[in-house]
Amino acid sequence: MSEPLMPNQADTPATALGPTALVLGVISVAPAFALFPSLALAFLMFPWAVIASALAVTFGAVGIRYARRGIGRVWMAVAGTTLGAIGLVGTTTLFWVLVPTAP
């Protein structure tokens, strides 16, 4: 028989924070590129982008903390945090510029 698989310190859920932040960061930047094909598509993606960017910044910050301890990858967490921040600022600015203000 084979020996049972034992969990390793590298197999903690903290190792998934960096890649999760990176994916959510890419999703949060997507409405800026969806503006070119269709304005309606950009507005449909706006709420999801705000949620994804907030989660990307949160998961990225926690991922950086764990990566400094040796669990996980720093570059993925930093990239996810950066993309999440850019996505949050970009989609908020895009929404503020494109939505007409009421007189």
Any domain includes 58 = yes
Any domain includes 34 = yes
How far apart CA 7 and CA 69 sit, in angstroms, is: 18
Q: Return the pLDDT at 56.
A: 96
Q: What is the CA radius of gyration of the chain?
A: 18
Any domain includes 45 = yes
pLDDT tens digits, 47-97:
888 899 999 999 999 999 998 988 888 999 999 999 999 999 988 887 787
First to last CA, the chain: 76
Cβ-contact 56, 87 below 8 angstroms: yes
Any domain includes 44 = yes
Any domain includes 4 = no
pLDDT tens digits, 37-61:
777 777 788 888 889 999 999 999 9
Any domain includes 22 = yes
Any domain includes 86 = yes
Domain of residue 38 covers 15-97
Q: How many domains does the chain have?
A: 1
What φ, ψ does residue 101 adopt, rounded to 5°?
-85, 150
Question: Is the pLDDT assigned to residue 11 strictly greater than 80?
Answer: no
Question: Is the pLDDT assigned to residue 8 strictly greater than 70?
Answer: no
- What residue type is 19 in one-letter code? P
Any domain includes 6 = no
Question: Is 0.75 surpassed by the pTM of this model?
Answer: yes
